[in-house]
Amino acid sequence: MKVGAVIITMGNRPDELRALLDSVAKQDGDPVQVVVVGNGSPVPDVPDGVKTVELPENLGIPGGRNVGIEAFGPGGRDVDILLFLDDDGLLAHTDTAELCRKAFAEDPALGIISFRIADPDTGVTQRRHVPRLRAADPMRSSRVTTFLGGANAVRTQVFAEVGGLPDEFFYAHEETDLAWRALDAGWMIDYRSDMVLYHPTTAPSRHAVYHRMVARNRVWLARRNLPALLVPVYLGVWLLLTLLRRPSGPALKAWFGGFKEGWSSPCGPRRPMKWRTVWRLTRLGRPPVI
């Protein structure tokens, strides 16, 4: 299986980007083809053989990654597997690409693999980086219902069948949108604890637009993908959870602004999942109401 990698960058972490590229180059087996997308910025110096694309404006995380996919041909068809890696991450082991090849070859229904993210100094995996409700044991691999955006591998056939990431989301929940569409098309998703991306421990709320976009995109996610009966249930549960977490006043104001925007603005095409997909998500441990 041919493996490619898509890395988007704002050009502000050249040392981390070079370290990541070095870790990709050290992967066992056939070389991994790499595309680095400068998302509204020039791409720092990269090694020979690494393809670069410089965008005149920041298209957001999903938009930038979609450009990277297309750099491997329509829907990424020039390769069989695409790795998506944060530019300040680092592949911890040299066998990750080979493990991906083996996993996809052995399981024809497997569409997406979510890697384990670990802090490079402590080795700790944050609970939020385990894409399931029962997240206490990050060392347990399992089937899951979503994946981590900056540390994953996708069979390119998935893009051919269900399309790419939702450009309009810009930031937050774009992975779950793709995951739900993939599951609805019959693909499965695995969380693999043995495929590790080192990444410094951070809080997602460091982004100024975090609370607004998380709320807006949550509404868009429901409007685009859920059966009509589940839309108010899903969003009602997340409204309650947000209030129980007792965010600060400014954060809550931004969240409600995004929630309102999610209802009043276009969210892209609506393709509600089948009820059998709802049941599949439930059997996998995460019914699409939370």
3-198 is a CATH 3.60.15.10 domain: no
pLDDT at site 62: 98
Annotated domain spans of the chain: 3-198, 208-271
How many angstroms separate the CA atoms of 142 and 139, rounded?
10
Residue with tokens 């870790």: 23
How many angstroms separate the CA atoms of 74 and 78, rounded?
8
| Rg of the Cα atoms in the chain | 18
Per-residue pLDDT of the chain (290 residues; tens, 9 = 90+): 999 999 999 999 999 999 999 999 999 999 999 999 999 999 999 999 999 999 999 999 999 999 999 999 999 999 999 999 999 999 999 999 999 999 999 999 999 999 999 999 999 999 999 999 999 999 999 999 999 999 999 999 999 999 999 999 999 999 999 999 999 999 999 999 999 999 998 877 555 589 999 999 999 999 999 999 999 999 999 999 999 999 999 999 999 999 999 999 999 999 999 999 999 999 999 999 98
CB-count exposure of residue 76 (10 Å: 0-12, 13-18, 19+): buried
How many angstroms separate the CA atoms of 92 and 248, rounded?
36
How many angstroms separate the CA atoms of 246 and 251, rounded?
10
116 forms beta bridges with: 196
How many angstroms separate the CA atoms of 287 and 272, rounded?
15
pTM over 0.85: yes
Q: Residue 213 in 3-state DSSP? A: helix
Q: How do strand 188-198 and strand 110-118 relate by DSSP bridges?
A: parallel
Query: Which tokens is 285 given?
Result: 């441990």
